[in-house]
Structure 1
């Protein structure tokens, strides 16, 4: 399990941990249940990162060599698969805390795992067959892939909650997941901070159809500039800069993505209010807010 421990120790911004803490303001699950949910979600997240990095041919993760670069692909794949199986044992720790009618926690886990793997499969299919999805199709994919662990956290925690368990937290989790992935797509291209930790516009090097890229291709009116660059999977800056300039100046995909993120942020805030308000989650949304005036584009 060395690849798993290696990946887990390189912690990010702990968005999922903060989200679980925010959810528990409403649900008031026992501390041991909250810890167990956090461990299940963190374990699956680390496993998905290891497998995704292999599938995306990513050499780095959070500014460090990816697990498969350090430990090799076979050992990393085995550790990732083991972690996905282990959560079925971990989720059993929650059964003593169930307060509502007893759902099958294994069924909940299986449902969200299948959603995650289906989403990743679509992402790989589009990339490897050079098939640009529609914006709507992409959003459905990331709602399966990016929102899945958030829905899992909400559903498991709700099953152990002592207050407000009759509320539906899934729509909020979907919004957070969709917003988070579109934000990540945007920052991957336009943020110096992301360049410093992940490399310059590595989504373009992977040939990935990210949200700004999908809008740019659809808005390019038959011009194949962006698709031609993606197919080459460039590793040097020249073609990446050309693609980013095209997205910014020709198709206005920068402005469009900023507008979409703002609308999603407004929807998240409205959903938090509908659920009764939550200082932790409001602060988290503030943290995730993207202010275009403060975005420093990478210098290459």
Structure 2
């Protein structure tokens, strides 16, 4: 029998398993209708917005047909590169779109200096680092984003991410310490912190009260070691199979889920795994994830 806390959680799966915004050539035959229908078949309640999604009217129509919801959408922030004022104008337009599709969070990542789309950078060694001045600017800018988001009934969910200036637990600690808890929440991503730091529970334990959005991404540790040894790029690593869905890799999601439940987490848990859909059938992977969630988390 589900607890009240479990009933406050919605389960989604990200479109990245079907099509990848950073590599448009993979999965290009998977259209919106196929993606959304697969999500229904797999048993999930919603998804996040992909770069190929249409405007609000068309998207809301397709969602309503299938009784699906939008959990959020990625926003590439360039506070350091463009300054707070210009970056905030772009972010406000993003919030207007999110409000029109009834999304609860804006997933934000500061993308200045990112190497996640690089064709040459070693994702395991070449990450960027912000100066103290840049840190101050990012934290100030994110607080401002939080004020903008609140006008639209949204929360900012900051995404610690491989290959960016805010990747590790130490960097996320600094971000949390220097932003307003009322304005800036945390997106906790199991896969990114597991590859970055090894330990994926420490970050959750430290900032459970700031978590407003969750990504469940599994890691194949043998593939991670292989990618690390080869010094692969981020895209090279996920095309080589480093990430997968829960139930198909080596992470144990039970302690993560139990911690969220114990803390009365209310919000979305979104399954997300960058993979090549020609090698990892998106519907099959979604079904593997849903089966794992049901059998090992909810019913266990």
Q: With structure 2 as the length reference, what TM-score do the two structures score?
A: 0.31
Structure having the higher strand fraction is 2
Structure having the higher helix fraction is 1
Q: With structure 1 as the length reference, what TM-score do the two structures score?
A: 0.31
